[in-house]
């Protein structure tokens, strides 16, 4: 770069000096080069320098075009999407700005395109809030990594009626890990989450510590778990933005996704109804986990189908109408974006 600057300075200086000498501003010396000769020489040097500068600039611009992939604006992306086939390089949901932004009263919410990660709507998406039973998605991920679902789990008195709404099991009852996981996810059983944690503790595994470690691995840097059920509104928190990462990780686990899409199930002699009331109302749901506590209010984590076979992620936190807010965001996204 410094050589180019020197050349840019030197070239016009040589040209001006040659021009002055060529005009006869200095007397000629007999037997030596005269002013005209030096003027012609310096002007020739300036032409050469200008040519070198031009070559450098052209070569540099060409190399930059070949080596750099400059980002394109959203307008350019839309234009390309109309003429290019969908690929990882050109794929982008296209926004229809004739559709107004939604208005929801939830404390926080986010909608993202699952494949590209593009944020389609956000409201306080980075605000730390209690998440209630959405916590159980992380509990399930860690359980599947650390514990054996084929094993038999015993229910202790300490695991029962954690929320004060009635016990989900009987003291001393034994269940398979598969039945326990289904009860935790479909019925959103706090007792089932506690049984997993107690069993893990007996094996020398701190389940909550493993949940926090997993959160860090997923890049959920604004998330902290203090219990496996999500009952601790004061110490367990996350953000809508972090929970998108949790759903992406959960999407890869068929044990969880297949369980969460069951509207009901008969498990260990009990009939369980899924707490997700959007099943059957919104087509293509892949993941749906509800939550509700006094401090967190209603929470919802949802992954469902979108246009052209794509999927979207919807997170709603701190809502007085979690199902209504989530459904509205899904329908708004279908109107406001095309894939």
133 belongs to the catalytic site = yes
- Marked catalytic residue, from 67, 69, 87, 133: 133
22 HSE (CA, 13 A, CB side): 12
335 belongs to the catalytic site = no
Contacts of 103 (CB under 8 A, 6+ apart): none
The answer to whether residues 316 and 329 touch, using CB atoms and an 8 Å cutoff, is yes
End-to-end CA distance of the chain, in Å?
Answer: 44
CA 23 to the chain's CA centroid? 70
DSSP letter at 232? Answer: -
- Marked catalytic residue, from 136, 187, 214, 289: 136
List C-alpha distances in Å: 296 to 69, 98, 216. Answer: 44, 34, 22
- Marked catalytic residue, from 188, 189, 194, 304: 188
Dist. CA 59–CA 84, nearest whole Å? 30
188 belongs to the catalytic site = yes
Dist. CA 294–CA 299, nearest whole Å? 11
Q: What are phi and psi of 75, to 5 degrees?
A: -65, -45
Give the active site residues: 133, 136, 188
């Amino acid at each position: 770069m410094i050589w180019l600057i020197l050349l840019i300075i030197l070239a016009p200086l040589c040209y001006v000096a040659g021009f002055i000498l060529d005009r006869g501003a200095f007397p000629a010396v007999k037997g030596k080069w005269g002013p005209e000769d030096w003027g012609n020489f310096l002007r020739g040097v300036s032409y050469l320098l200008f040519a070198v500068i031009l070559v450098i600039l052209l070569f540099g611009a060409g190399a930059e075009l070949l080596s750099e992939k400059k980002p394109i604006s959203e307008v350019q992306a839309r234009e390309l999407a109309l003429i290019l086939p969908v690929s990882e390089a050109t794929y982008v949901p296209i926004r229809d700005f004739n559709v107004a932004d939604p208005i929801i009263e939830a404390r926080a919410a986010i909608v993202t395109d699952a494949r590209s990660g593009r944020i389609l709507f956000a409201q306080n998406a980075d605000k730390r809030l209690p998440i209630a039973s959405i916590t159980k998605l992380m509990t399930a991920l860690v359980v599947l990594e650390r514990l054996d679902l084929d094993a038999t789990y015993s229910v202790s008195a300490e695991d029962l009626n954690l929320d004060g709404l009635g016990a989900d099991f009987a003291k001393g009852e034994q269940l398979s890990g598969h039945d326990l996981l289904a009860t935790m996810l479909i019925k959103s059983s706090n007792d089932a989450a506690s049984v997993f944690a107690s069993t893990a503790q007996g094996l020398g595994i701190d389940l909550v510590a493993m949940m926090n470690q997993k959160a860090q691995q997923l890049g959920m840097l604004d998330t902290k778990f203090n219990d496996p059920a999500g009952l601790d509104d004061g110490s367990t928190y996350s953000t809508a933005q972090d929970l998108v990462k949790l759903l992406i990780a959960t999407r890869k686990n068929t044990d969880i996704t297949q369980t969460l899409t069951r509207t009901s199930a008969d498990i260990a002699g009990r009939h369980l109804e899924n707490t997700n009331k959007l099943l059957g109302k919104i087509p293509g749901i892949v993941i749906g986990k509800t939550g509700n506590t006094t401090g967190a209010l209603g929470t919802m984590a949802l992954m469902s189908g979108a246009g052209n076979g794509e999927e979207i992620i919807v997170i709603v936190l701190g809502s007085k109408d979690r199902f209504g807010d989530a459904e509205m965001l899904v329908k708004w996204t279908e109107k406001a974006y095309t894939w």
